[in-house]
Structure 1
Amino acid sequence: MQRLQSLLGVVVLLLFGFIFSVAPKKVRWRHVAWGMALQFILGLIILRWPFGRSVFECLAGKVATFLAFTDEGAGFVFGDLATVDRIFAFSVLPVILFFSFCVQILYYYGVMQWVVIKMGWFLQVTIGTTACESVNAAANIFLGQTEAPLLIKPFIPQMTKSELHAVLTGGFATVAGSVMAAYISFGVNPAHLLSASVMSAPAALAFSKLFYPETRKSKTNVKNIQIAKGEEANLLHAAMVGVTNAIPLVANIAANLVAFYAFIAFGSHVFDWTCTLAGAEEGTCSIEASFLRVETVLQHSLPKTNHVGVKVWTNHVGIKVQTNDKCTGGWMAYYIQVLNGS
């Protein structure tokens, strides 16, 4: 029954995309069918196939172990604030600096470019999307919404509106590598994050092509996209550029968390106060979460008897609608600790 609920949720989302499509008659169903099928196949490989699950869990474990070395640098600079007290600003945010440091080194040697091009080619061959949007979707698995389009920067002026829509959709559908690193430091299962990001890439292309189908011919293909290596003078220069580029992101995350958490607390207090005056029970500021509860249970196959799971998941959705993924990350870390009894 739960699987049928999930299937119904997928059908509802596809129907929603078709109804509000810019050009319903122009939808190329190969894009939609292959995108959804590829997501399903990746899900089977990663989550159901024992060998695939073992490989992915091993990879996720290695990633978590690698990122844990951030504690050495953070502990050297901040001491017990990072290693003992585990204060967010001194233990979680440094992970982003370390991750950006390493990614920029891979860019300098051309490793990231090679991986992205190969994955972009695979998406283009299977789903049938154009080169630029396929490369961007592949890049979004590892990079953020602002960094991934830089790989196709020379072609952006020539891209169609449908391709630009796919670029934006892919960025919203996946998790940036730096943010993923922060989530892992929150205590989120790395295997779940990696699998969700990988599976979201083809699904994002499918839904994008349903909502904004292509009506013009693309002027690019994968063979034309030549991505140069980093322009840094040497390895050390590349590493320093990576750290420097991550500083605004770290500052942005910290500022967002301070402001939005304060505002959420204020909104929650006002909402509870209003409910009290009306003689009702105290509610929650996650109004959107309450509204989406039935729909979320239906789409994500959460058992209606699992009240804790329903509340946690719907509140997560509601807070993300109200704020952003940075706030939900901190909120999610709190619930992980509560559910684990720590």
Structure 2
Amino acid sequence: MGILLGLLAIAVILGIAFLMSNDKKNINYRGIIIMLLFQLLTTWFMFNTKVGQWIITKISEGFNKLIEFGSAGVQFVLGGFVIQEGGGGVFFFNVLLLIIFFATILSVLTYIKVLPLIIKYLGWGLSYITGLPKVESFNAVNSIFFGQSEALIAIKSQFKQLNDNRLYIVSASAMGSVSASIVGAYLGMLPAKFILVALPLNMFSALIVASMIAPVKVPKEEDVVDIQDVSNAKSFFEAMGNGALDGGRIALIVATMLIAFIASLELVNWVFAALFSGFTLQQALGYVIAPIGMLMGIPMAEVLDAGAIMGTKIVTNEFVAMLEFQGMLDSVSEKTVGIVTVFLTSFANFSSIGIIAGTVQGIDSEKGGKVSGFGLKLLVGATLGSMLSATIVGLFL
């Protein structure tokens, strides 16, 4: 019965994406089926073999080491500040400012031709099996490791060739991802096996849902990645400087937009609670999510609490929701733990609209305005992707 409900949940999620589609006639059904099969195979592999977990863990450890290097630079400049755990400064100092370091790495990797090779081969491979254009395919793979802002920086030279649908897909991949550099933090809060399996599943889910909502067909002769214009640096140190300046500019824009988005949401929550006698927006979202939550496999007795956690993640961020869910781990079933954990392991929340729009604004002001315009649709699509990943996991629990 659980498997049948899970299959029904998949059908409902894809059905909603189909209804949201702006070009139903050009949906790439072959690619969607292939990616669904890859998700099932990946989940089986991650849950039944140690090799899959070892691979993802080692990759995460590598990027966490890069975070240590970046933190050394931040601490040198801002070492006089005392940062308390749980404070707002942690996000600014430990995440936003590190965009500068990651932008520098990406610029250097581009200059020494490592990044163009990744675009050419990994992007080509995913594009070949799914039928998606190469830029979208590379961005999806890269988003597993670098996260939303850094992944978009990596394809900044490609923005000139992205129409609205293609821009939606790359933005959805960024929002549906999590940065490998912060996976270690997630592993300290929730079960590792569910965090690890969410990484590849969310890549496919974001592509599946986004390619249904915003289908793309790029002529073969135009389906190329312009690696010649990725970097204009004439030396190694110029590449470092260019990357640092790009990262600093984008970090500042992202911080500015985050302040506006999160403050506005706090205002909405205050008004909502005042109008409905303390009934919060998160609780309301719990009731909204409950029906699909039951189809996803969450037991009926746990679905309202689980839905509230998922709603918390949507209106705040995954860290707040994970900390709340951590206290529930012993009181809910393993199936609920797995489904909710996978759902939480993405950047699909309101504040990410600001992060992505701000990042794109820093790259291309015109396209930044377009991302802001379809921001809510982007959030709905990314949330459907998180639900799809969580449902796939529920089938194996």
**How far, CA to CA, are the matches of 2:69 and 2:218 in structure 1?**
48
**How far, CA to CA, are the matches of 1:22 and 1:258 in structure 2?**
31
2:186 aligned residue (185, 188, 204): 188
**How far, CA to CA, are the matches of 1:240 and 1:127 in structure 2?**
37
Over alpha carbons, which structure has the higher Rg? 1
Letter in 2 for 1:311: A
**How far, CA to CA, are the matches of 1:236 and 1:254 in structure 2?**
27
Check whether the contact 1:132–1:220 (CA below 8 A) recurs between aligned residues. Answer: no
Residue equivalent to 1:323: none
Sequence identity, in percent?
Answer: 19
Deviation at residue 12 of structure 1 after TM alignment: 0.7
| 1:51-83 deviation per Cα after TM superposition (whole angstroms, max 9, x unaligned) | 111111122123223313333222222225366
Residue equivalent to 2:208: 206
Check whether the contact 2:111–2:239 (CA below 8 A) recurs between aligned residues. Answer: yes
1:297 aligned residue (272, 277, 293): 293
Residue equivalent to 1:331: 320
**How far, CA to CA, are the matches of 1:48 and 1:169 in structure 2?**
31
Residue equivalent to 2:12: 12
Paired residues for 1:40-189 under 5 Å:
40-79=40-79, 81=81, 87-88=89-90, 89-141=92-144, 142=146, 144=149, 146-147=152-153, 149-153=155-159, 155-156=161-162, 165-175=165-175, 180=179, 183-184=182-183, 187-189=185-187
Deviation at residue 246 of structure 1 after TM alignment: 1.5
**How far, CA to CA, are the matches of 1:211 and 1:262 in structure 2?**
29
Deviation at residue 109 of structure 1 after TM alignment: 0.9
Q: Unaligned regions of 5+ residues in structure 2, if any?
A: 330-397
| 1:114-140 deviation per Cα after TM superposition (whole angstroms, max 9, x unaligned) | 112212211222123344544454455
User: Would the alpha carbon gap of residues 77 and 232 (structure 1) be closer, same or farther in structure 2, given more than 3 Å must change?
Assistant: same
**How far, CA to CA, are the matches of 1:154 and 1:166 in structure 2?**
11
User: Would the alpha carbon gap of residues 175 and 189 (structure 1) be closer, same or farther in structure 2, given more than 3 Å must change?
Assistant: farther
Residue equivalent to 1:316: 313
**How far, CA to CA, are the matches of 2:195 and 2:246 in structure 1?**
23
**How far, CA to CA, are the matches of 1:221 and 1:195 in structure 2?**
30
Deviation at residue 214 of structure 1 after TM alignment: 5.7
Deviation at residue 106 of structure 1 after TM alignment: 1.0
Q: TM-score, normalised by structure 2?
A: 0.65
Paired residues for 1:19-34 under 5 Å:
19-22=19-22, 24=24, 27-34=27-34
Q: Over the residues paired in the alignment, what is the CA RMSD in angstroms?
A: 3.7
User: Would the alpha carbon gap of residues 259 and 165 (structure 1) be closer, same or farther in structure 2, given more than 3 Å must change?
Assistant: closer
User: Would the alpha carbon gap of residues 232 and 213 (structure 1) be closer, same or farther in structure 2, given more than 3 Å must change?
Assistant: closer
Q: TM-score, normalised by structure 1?
A: 0.74
Check whether the contact 2:173–2:207 (CA below 8 A) recurs between aligned residues. Answer: no
Check whether the contact 1:170–1:201 (CA below 8 A) recurs between aligned residues. Answer: no
**How far, CA to CA, are the matches of 2:246 and 2:288 in structure 1?**
37
Q: How many residues align?
A: 317
**How far, CA to CA, are the matches of 1:81 and 1:286 in structure 2?**
33
User: Would the alpha carbon gap of residues 272 and 96 (structure 1) be closer, same or farther in structure 2, given more than 3 Å must change?
Assistant: same
